[in-house]
Chain A
Amino acid sequence: MKKGLEEINQLVGIWGSLICNNQGEIILGNTPPGLNKSALENINRNGISMFTSANGSMQGISEAVLHYEERKLFVLDLEKVFLIVICTPSVDISLLRMTVNVLLSRWDGDQKVQKEINKRFVERI
């Protein structure tokens, strides 16, 4: 999983990426040093609550690009965990989306990754 986040971070316009559980707590992060962990987890919770607070009206939507101050947040609902990518405005969202899609298909077939994800599952906030 760590290698996957590194792959994402290599794209132009990516500031950092992380995996968090359904309550926003960071499981694995590849973000620039100096970023405040609790602020980051707060951002995660805001992103996650967007998926859960709309009383099911967003059912079927698993991806969102949120604008957060001068950053873009690419939030992907992986059901048991969330993948969050922090981007600068110059990010190529299409390239990011395809890179993530390829990565997820690899994770789908990786038992070690699936075991790790299952282990980290908690109910949604």
Chain B
Amino acid sequence: MAEGLRGNLKQLALLDIIKMLSSGNRSGRLDINQAGKSGEIYLERGNIVHSATGTQIGEKGVYTLMGWLEGEFTFTPDVASPDRSIDVATEQLLLEAARQAEQWEDIKEVISSTDAVFNISPSGSTSTISLKPLEWQVLAQINGERSVIEIGEILGLHEFEVARIVYSLTTAGLLNEITDAKVIFRDIVDETFFKMLSEFFTEVMGPIGPVIIEDEIRLLGEEQSAFPQNKAAELVERISLEISDSAKRTEFQKQMVAVLKG
């Protein structure tokens, strides 16, 4: 099998990675992981033929993934696509993605991330505003708790579309982003989790155990003091892969699955 490619989206934007693979006529699967979410893009001789992330399939999947500015990617060459959800020419797809990426830059001036939560501004707009049906639907979902991404899931819209509407409603003075909302609503794992993780892992790996745990937390872009619940299983799985003895690895996973299930 040909050599794969992996890295971080902070260093290399997804658009640039795809351009590179496309111009090299590469075939294979590009996996992208970000904060417990994942997605994949399949290429065949440089053409994008399929993409999926969550409920977003095809072109929508590609545009969603293009909006991820952080996370890790892995390209595995010569993996055949299980499906063909994209008929549009790759050049056209990349052009639209580049256009959206530009708009994202403007949007990000106002919306900190797609995890951002908004409430309706008590002061409102200073001028008369008319809303399109879709804008009204998004506005109706704003409750100070739902994030941009969650509103997209509820309305069956691509997160870019929701972000674009939230951006225009915010610049019109109708919405305010709740700062620190991410911290308020993000479930954090408790101390017991790390205590058990460290204890079980050190039992197998010895004193290097806590060092490996720290490394993996950092690779996930997190800190132990505020580690999100939705990444706990991913952390355990990644750590368990460091155990070369499969029986010991399974035993460690068994112990930690029990902890994760509470």
Of the candidates B80, B83, B250, the one whose C-beta lies within 8 Å of that of A57 is B80
Contact A70 B55 (CB under 8 A): yes
Stretch from A15-23, A30-38, A94-102, A112-120 at the B interface: A94-102
Of the candidates A10, A66, A89, A102, the one whose C-beta lies within 8 Å of that of B55 is A89
Residues in B with CB closer than 8 Å to A95 are 233, 257, 260
Asked if A98 meets B233 with Cβ closer than 8 Å, knowing A58-B80, A93-B38, the reply is: yes
What are 6 pairs between A and B in contact, CB < 8 Å?
A53-B80, A64-B82, A89-B54, A95-B257, A98-B233, A98-B256
Q: Number of contact residues on A: which range applies?
A: 20 to 34
Smallest Cβ-Cβ distance to A46: which chain B residue: B82
Contact A102 B82 (CB under 8 A): no
Binding site of B, secondary structure by majority: helix, strand, loop or mixed? helix
Residues of chain B having any CB pair with chain A under 8 Å = 36, 38, 52, 54-55, 57, 78-80, 82-83, 230, 233-234, 236-237, 240, 247, 250, 253-254, 256-257, 260-261
Residues in A with CB closer than 8 Å to B247 are 105
A92 an interface residue at 8 Å Cβ cutoff?
A: yes
Residues in A with CB closer than 8 Å to B82 are 50, 64, 66
Contact A98 B55 (CB under 8 A): no
Contact A105 B250 (CB under 8 A): yes
**Chain A CB within 10 Å — which of B52, B82, B254 has the most?**
B82
